[in-house]
Every structure is written in structure tokens, then in C-alpha cells.
């Protein structure tokens, strides 16, 4: 029996994880579940999965959550410190499914505690890969990538020696605006931007997929996970989302990972690790799919991708800035304050201004993130 703690239990990664738990209730139990503010869904999940602890990040909902769980033995807590404490509770696997920068501190706590972490929250490595990776090396924490491309590449790298690797390639669907020019997508509506062709995910990552910031963030994530510079990292648009990642080796061999576009594929790899976890995956009918297409990412069409790629290997403060500016711009778009096309402009403006702080420590990163958000708010 493996014990899991599930951070972001009410989100899309949370849903996919719990579907696997349902299929393997004899192999997994959930001992911690967390959410941001949806206390009703968290309470429902807690009643079904009976964790020993639930944490709601927004403290104003703690009392309501406790009321829903009255009469049970489930402990209720709230706030960021409680999330971090929960991340240190020893389990077999911590599933890091919180979205955005908010995922950083719980992941840091889990890494410090030497846990095995199924890492979906890419923003952690974007903002703090330079601190998280050395911390994991010291604590002995294991990071199992759940982002589908990174999981694919990790699978293609099993048994590889560093010196044998030529480069790694992440694929991208191209999102809903793959065939549009920048001018054509400028005034895209929220509904259009949220209509991802291949994946069903939370709102933030879906908008990031439409701007292709997501693929830029993923290159930064890959740089930290696999220890490669930007000259050995590439992204390729592959509209069918069947191949998720590729590794090119020094001898001319390429290994590619294929699978249906379902997050249970990478999640099952991380949850089952080091074993393979069987589940009722949709079969991949290659004869039916018939063709796989590829095209380069156009930087003029998708400037967010270029901005993110350009800061790999620069001062880590740039990545904190890019990440915070992007989270704010996506928020402004989703709340109707700016058109779609201005997401890239807002991020570019903030990234081009003078640095608002440093990223030498976690405290620096938290302070810089706040400064960038303040600056982004005042710009709207
Ligand atoms: P989501 O919006 O569906 O769910 C986010 C979860 O995080 C929710 O449970 C929410 O309550 C919680 N949360 C939000 N803000 C919080 C805060 N301030 N404090 C504490 N908890 C908070 O998002 P998602 O699509 O599940 O994505 C989660 C992470 O996984 C993201 O980093 C995303 O990039 C990554 N990821 C997701 C997918 C996918 O298929 N959904 C694929 C690859 C990577
Ligand atoms: Mg991905």
C-alpha cells in the first residue's frame, strides 16, 4: 500500500490522480488532501478518501470546511504554513498539483524533507530550479516529472549516460491558435482561448498553452530537470499530441515516447515508480491516427515562447519575473481586463524593465514575486 499526499486535490491533476487511486484502491491511500478555496469539493473528497488531514490554503474557509467534516476524525488546517507542514508529513509520494507560484513553498518543504515528489507544478522549477535541484541533491528527495513532456523524456532517458545525450525535444500541440497570426489571435475571447484542442486542464495552463508560454516554461523546467543548456533543448509543434518528448543520442538514435493525451499516463508512471501501474488506458490506434505532423514554433506568432527560451541560463531573477508577470497577465486576461494579445506585451514590458530584485534565496524569490505582481497590477 502506497500512501499519497495530494496537493491541489480539487484541480485537474487532482482529478486524474484520484481516478488512478479509484482503479487501484488496494494499492493507494490518500493521507493528505489540499485545496485553495473550494472547501465544499475538498470536504466531499475527504469524506470519500478519508485522509487524516485536509488543508485549505485560504484560511477564511477553514471554519466552513471543519463544519462539513464535523463528526469525522479528519484533521482540518489552513494557510501556507499548514500546507508546508503537510508537505513534510512522511508519505510514499507527494503529488504536487497546485497551480502556479503558490506551489513553490509546499514543494520546497517536501524536497527539504527528502520526499518522493510527483511534480506537476512546473512553476516551482521555473522560479526556483537553481535552489530546488541542489536542495534535492542534499536531502535525497526524488523528483518524478509529471508534466507529460518531461515524463516522456525521463522515460526515454532511462539508462542514458550524460555524455551520450545530444539534445532533447519537447512537443507542443500548438494550442487553439496554432493556425492564427498574432493579429488574428489578438482579440480572441476567453472561451476561444480556453478551448484546447487535445488536453483538458486547469484555466491557467490552458491559457499558457494558447500563448505557448507553457512550452517556454517547460523548456526552463527541462533545463533544470535534465541539466541541459538552451542549445540542447528544443520544442516542436506536433498537433496530434501523440509523441510527447524525444531524446536524440550521439550515435544518431532518437527515442520518442508516445501515448494518448491523458495525464494518467505520466501520473501512473510517477505513482507506480519504479513499477508500471496498469490501468484501462485508451488504446493508441496508430493505423487510425495514420500520420504525425511536425512544424517549428514561430517566434513572431508566439513571442511568449521566445521570451521564456531567451532567459534559460541568465540570472534566475529573470525567470521569477517572467513567471510572476505571466501569472498576472493571464489573470488580467481571464478577468476581462486585457485582450489576449496583451498577455505577451505585459510580460515583455515587465521583463524589459530593470530587475526588481534578486533570486539568491527563497526569501528573495518570494519578495521579487511580490514586487513583480505589484508592478503588473499598477500597469493595468
Ligand atoms: P487547476 O487549476 O485545475 O488546479 C489547481 C489546484 O491548485 C486546485 O486544487 C486549487 O485549489 C489549487 N490552488 C490554486 N491556487 C492555490 C493557492 N494559492 N494555494 C494553494 N492551492 C492552490 O490546475 P491544474 O491544471 O491541475 O494544474 C496544476 C499544475 O500542474 C500546474 O502547475 C500545471 O502547470 C501543471 N500541469 C497540469 C497539467 C494538466 O493536465 N492539468 C498538465 C501538465 C502540468
Ligand atoms: Mg506539458
- CB of 266 closer than 6 angstroms to any ligand 1 atom: no
Task: Please give the angle made by the CA atoms of 5, 11 and 12, to the nearest 5 degrees.
Answer: 105
Residue-level pLDDT at 379:
86
77, 86 contact by CB (below 8 A): yes
CA 214 to centroid of ligand 2, rounded, Å: 7
Share of the chain above pLDDT 90, in %: 98
Check whether 85 has a pLDDT greater than 90: yes
Q: Give 121 Cα–ligand 1 centroid separation in angstroms.
A: 7
The ligand placed nearest to the CA atom of residue 201 is 1
Cα–Cα distances in angstroms (integers) from residue 149 to residues 64, 169, 376, 379, in the given order: 38, 9, 30, 34
Got the DSSP string for 205-261?
Answer: HHHHHHHTHHHHHHHHHHHHHHT--GGGEEEEE-TT--EEEEEEETTS-EEEEE--S
Confidence of residue 289 (pLDDT cuts 50, 70, 90): very high
pLDDT in tens, 44-65: 999 999 999 999 999 999 999 9
* Residue 97, ligand 1, Cβ within 6 A: yes
For residue 331, which ligand has an atom nearest its CA? 1
CB-hemisphere CA count at 13 Å for 143? 27
Rounded to an integer, the average pLDDT of 328-335 is 98
224 closest CA partner among 313, 156, 307, 155: 313
Any ligand 1 atom below 6 A from CB of 327: no
Q: Which atom of ligand 1 is nearest to the CA of 123?
A: 32
Residues flanking ion ligand 2, Cβ below 5 Å: 147-149
Distance 286 CA to ligand 1 centre (A): 31
Mean pLDDT of 294-305: 98
Is the CB of 105 inside a 6 Å radius of any atom of ligand 1? Answer: no
Asked whether residue 315 carries a pLDDT value surpassing 90, the answer given is yes
The band of 354, judged by pLDDT with boundaries at 50, 70 and 90, is confident
Q: Which H or E run includes 365?
A: helix 362-379
Residue 30 has pLDDT above 90, yes or no: yes
**2-145 architecture in CATH?**
3-Layer(aba) Sandwich (3.40)
**Assigned CATH class of 314-380:** mainly alpha
- pLDDT tens string 122-180: 999 999 999 999 999 999 999 999 999 999 999 999 999 999 999 999 999 999 999 99
Distance, CA 249 to ligand 2 centroid (Å)?
22
Q: How many CA atoms lie within 13 A of 31 on its CB side?
A: 13
Cα(241)–Cα(228) distance, integer angstroms: 24
* Domain ranges, ordered by start, for the chain: 2-145, 148-263+270-313, 314-380
Residue 209 in contact with ligand 1 by CB distance below 6 A: no
Ligand 1 proximity of 98 Cβ (cutoff 6 Å) = yes
Amino acid at each position: 500500500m502506497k500512501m499519497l499526499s495530494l496537493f491541489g486535490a480539487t484541480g485537474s491533476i487532482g482529478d486524474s490522480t484520484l481516478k488512478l487511486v479509484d482503479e487501484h484502491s488496494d494499492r493507494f491511500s490518500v493521507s493528505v488532501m489540499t485545496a485553495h478555496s473550494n472547501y465544499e469539493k475538498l470536504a466531499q473528497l475527504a469524506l470519500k478518501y478519508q485522509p487524516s488531514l485536509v488543508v485549505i490554503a485560504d484560511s477564511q474557509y477553514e471554519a466552513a470546511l471543519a463544519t462539513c467534516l464535523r463528526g469525522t476524525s479528519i484533521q482540518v488546517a489552513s494557510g501556507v504554513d499548514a500546507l508546508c507542514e503537510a508537505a513534510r508529513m512522511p508519505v510514499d509520494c507527494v503529488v504536487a498539483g497546485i497551480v502556479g507560484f503558490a506551489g513553490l513553498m509546499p514543494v520546497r518543504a517536501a524536497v527539504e524533507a527528502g520526499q518522493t515528489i510527483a511534480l506537476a507544478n512546473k512553476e516551482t522549477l521555473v522560479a526556483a530550479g537553481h535552489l530546488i535541484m541542489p536542495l534535492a541533491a542534499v536531502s535525497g528527495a526524488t523528483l518524478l516529472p509529471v508534466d507529460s513532456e518531461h515524463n516522456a523524456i525521463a522515460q526515454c532517458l532511462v539508462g542514458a549516460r550524460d555524455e551520450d545525450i545530444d539534445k532533447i525535444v519537447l512537443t507542443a500541440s500548438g494550442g487553439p491558435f496554432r493556425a492564427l497570426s498574432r493579429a488574428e489571435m489578438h482579440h480572441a475571447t476567453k472561451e476561444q482561448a480556453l478551448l484546447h484542442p487535445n488536453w483538458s486542464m486547469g484555466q491557467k495552463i490552458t491559457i499558457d498553452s494558447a500563448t505557448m508560454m507553457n512550452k517556454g516554461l517547460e523548456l526552463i523546467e527541462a533545463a533544470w530537470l535534465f541539466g541541459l543548456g538552451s542549445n540542447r533543448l528544443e520544442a516542436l509543434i506536433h498537433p496530434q499530441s501523440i509523441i510527447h518528448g524525444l531524446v536524440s543520442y550521439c550515435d544518431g538514435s532518437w527515442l520518442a515516447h508516445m501515448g494518448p493525451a491523458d495525464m494518467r499516463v505520466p501520473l501512473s508512471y510517477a505513482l507506480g515508480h519504479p513499477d508500471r501501474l496498469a490501468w484501462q488506458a485508451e488504446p493508441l490506434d496508430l493505423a487510425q491516427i495514420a500520420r504525425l505532423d511536425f512544424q517549428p514554433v514561430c517566434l513572431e506568432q508566439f513571442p511568449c515562447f521566445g521570451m521564456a527560451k531567451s532567459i534559460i541560463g541568465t540570472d534566475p531573477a529573470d525567470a521569477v519575473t517572467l513567471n510572476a508577470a505571466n501569472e498576472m497577465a493571464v489573470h488580467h486576461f481571464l478577468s476581462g481586463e486585457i485582450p489576449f494579445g496583451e498577455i505577451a506585451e505585459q510580460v515583455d514590458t515587465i521583463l524589459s524593465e530593470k530587475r526588481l530584485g534578486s533570486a539568491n534565496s527563497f526569501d528573495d524569490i518570494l519578495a521579487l514575486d511580490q514586487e513583480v505582481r505589484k508592478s503588473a497590477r499598477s500597469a493595468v
